[in-house]
């Protein structure tokens, strides 16, 4: 069962950081060449739209397609999680290598609740799942134990029990 | 801590029903008279957009502003929850009297996980929190113990520990 | 036939003013009480989205439902048209009494091309006709002779040959 | 000056065909591979949103990026214009080679009013100019003499007096 509200330290509830690392969620359309790429993160707008009442810190760490991530990018994300004063962190990430970053974070045993999420359709495009997944992820971060979790299409997966099924465009249990 | 995935029965995870009862979430604009009111529910479209992988049953029970709800409406919602085969239910509801319906459901001690959610801005209007709250609510329903919960702006409240602050347009703890 | 481009004075082409007066086009949703009303005009954002290459001056004159317009409001609009240095003006206006304002403007015989337009669905609401009508109106303003015109759903009406059919939510010829 | 309404034959006003040929206007996002491409045309939805009162015929002729157009594609478009019973035609087309198709159509001297338009941002993406340009184009088609015209960002260009400035993403006079 989830930890009831009376068991949480107030400071703990309020202790949430959202880290943007790019991914489909944050892609923009560039009219001059018709490409999809990165500009300013959409997360500030998305978070304002969510009408959050608890303070949350937003950090724009990088803006990269996760297929282009190399180990140093994942180490950067790990460093940001380590140095974050917050005990609950939501990382918006490309879906293609989300599991790889999750593994790096889990191996560090940070004792924080870290949730990775993303989107299959950019926030900026009609029919996006971005806001839905963001709501899922922030809620999962408030209810889940310390550890590393992947949250997509309303499902919460332990980091080591999930894979992306690229052909179907979904995440599924791998255990 | 949340129930870990290995402790859940697979059938249990898949056992989700979404019940639409109206509220701001589902309001439409009517051009001929400039009013906001109800038409077909937006939930089927919203759920498709969420790209859910687990089956969920959608039920369009009523379409009413919760300020117009009378006891018989709440009894109808209770009856729908009782007869639902699913053990996890998300009810999309107007925010103004969501706590009143929650109290009716809780008094029946159904042994199911029931989450009520809604929106401050209709799904059909720019800047809506509808998809964010729907993602929160479905995730909370999968992680929370049997009982009645209210989920708004990513926060999960026990039914008897929350009230709507109408002046601020938020839900806050009342204990 | 329209005046060919080579017959226009360059300064004339560039001489466009957009005047916001309110109307459904510019209505916003207010979450605290669920009402539709006015805030900052959407026109600057709409005009940026149109990717105009010719300079156009934007003037936020008033923000009022045209059912609430009194004669002094229409006189204000007339005064703005008179004092505008531009020879082509598009006025975004509520549809309900657009014809009344058009008559006031026409009686002044300003020698400018003045186009009134609006929307049946607010710019901020899914499925809006606002951008479509704005494009129609600006184009009609560039092609039409001096006079007062009403442009809705891609049709261009002389000010004295049109009425709003409120039951059907359309504009139709009245001659 | 434009042809006044009383000078038009009623049947003539109502004689409009919209031909979809693809282009950025009609591009969709494909989540499985993150690409932009073609599916069902957005034009039926866009036209419904425009709340047109005059009948217009919609024809989905092809769905192609205009950079991929070869001469046989343009001949197909010409054939469609020739066989159309309507005297006014709006062609939704990719912006990159819109001028090339315009030249092919103009050389055939069809005696119809043909307007080509498109979008710099797909209809399906936030901030699109698609609806604005569609409104412009349909209005230009109703006001312009027989001939071939290009309408983008509210400007009406004769087919032989315009080019696309690809670096700036705009259309400008070339005479």
Q: What is the pLDDT of residues A86-144, one digit of tens each?
A: 999 999 999 999 999 999 999 999 999 999 999 999 999 999 999 999 999 999 999 99
Total CB pairs under 8 A between chain C and D? 137
Instruction: Write down the mean pLDDT value for chain B.
Output: 93
**Spans of chain D below 50 pLDDT:** 1-12
Neighbours of chain B (3+ CB pairs under 8 A): A, C
Residue C150 corresponds to which tokens in the numbers above?
């009403």
Per-residue pLDDT at C93: 98
pLDDT of residue D14: 57
Kindly compute the dihedral angle of the four CA atoms of residues A66, A69, A73, A74, in this order, to the nearest 10 degrees. 70
pLDDT at A175: 83
pTM > 0.95: yes or no: no
Angle between helices B71-83 and B98-107 (to 10 degrees): 50
ipTM exceeds 0.90, yes or no: yes
Instruction: With CB atoms and an 8 Å threshold, state whether A36 touches D34.
Output: yes
CA distance C80 to chain B (A): 28
At residue B175, the pLDDT reads: 83
- For the stretch C162-173, pLDDT in tens is 999 999 999 999
Q: Which of C143, C8, C9, C141 shows the shortest CA–CA distance to C84?
A: C141
For tokens 């891609």, what's the residue? C154
Termini Cα distance of chain C: 22
Backbone phi and psi for residue C124, each to the nearest 5 degrees, phi listed first: -80, 0
Q: Taking 80 as the threshold, does the pLDDT of residue C70 lie above it?
A: yes
Cβ distance of C31 and B120 shorter than 8 Å: yes
Q: According to the model, what pLDDT value does residue B14 have?
A: 57
Who wins on pLDDT, B9 or D128?
A: D128
Residue C7 pLDDT more than 70?
A: no
Percentage of chain A beyond pLDDT 70 is 92
- Please compute the mean of the pLDDT values over residues C51-57 and round it to a whole number: 95
pLDDT at position B42 is 98
B169, A51: Cβ pair inside 8 Å?
yes
Cβ A154–B3 below 8 Å, yes or no? no
Chain B residue closest to C166 (CA)?
B32
Mean pLDDT over residues B87-95, rounded?
98
Chain C residues touching chain D at CB-CB below 8 Å: 1-6, 46, 49-54, 120, 127-129, 131-140, 142-145, 151, 153-158, 161, 169-173, 175
When pLDDT is cut at 50, 70 and 90, the band that residue C4 belongs to is very low
A71-85 per-position pLDDT tens digit: 999 999 999 999 999
Residue A11 has pLDDT above 60, yes or no: no
Q: What is the pLDDT of residues B121-152, one digit of tens each?
A: 999 999 999 999 999 999 999 999 999 999 99
What is the 3 state secondary structure string of D53-107? CCCEEEEEEEEECHHHCCHHHHHHHHHHHHHCCCCEEEEECCCCCHHHHHHHHHH
Contact across the interface for B139 and A128, Cβ inside 8 Å: no
Please report which helix (H) or strand (E) contains residue A89, including its range.
Answer: strand A88-92
First vs last Cα of chain D: how many Å apart?
22
Q: What is the mean pLDDT of chain C?
A: 93
């Amino acid at each position: 069962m989830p930890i009831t509200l009376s068991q949480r330290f107030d400071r703990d509830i309020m202790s949430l950081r959202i880290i943007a690392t790019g991914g489909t969620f944050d892609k923009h359309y560039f009219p001059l060449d018709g490409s999809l790429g990165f500009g300013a993160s959409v997360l500030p707008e998305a978070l304002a739209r969510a009408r959050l009442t608890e303070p949350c810190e937003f950090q724009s760490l990088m803006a990269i397609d996760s297929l282009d991530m190399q180990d140093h990018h994942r180490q950067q994300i790990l460093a940001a999680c380590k140095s974050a004063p917050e005990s609950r962190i939501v990382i918006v990430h490309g879906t293609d290598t989300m599991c790889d970053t999750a593994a790096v974070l889990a191996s560090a045993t940070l004792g924080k609740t870290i949730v990775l999420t993303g989107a299959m359709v950019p926030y900026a495009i009609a029919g996006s799942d971005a806001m839905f997944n963001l709501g899922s992820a922030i809620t999962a971060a408030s209810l889940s134990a310390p550890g590393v979790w992947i949250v997509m299409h309303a499902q919460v997966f332990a980091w080591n029990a999930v894979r992306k099924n690229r052909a179907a465009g979904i995440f599924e249990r791998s255990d």
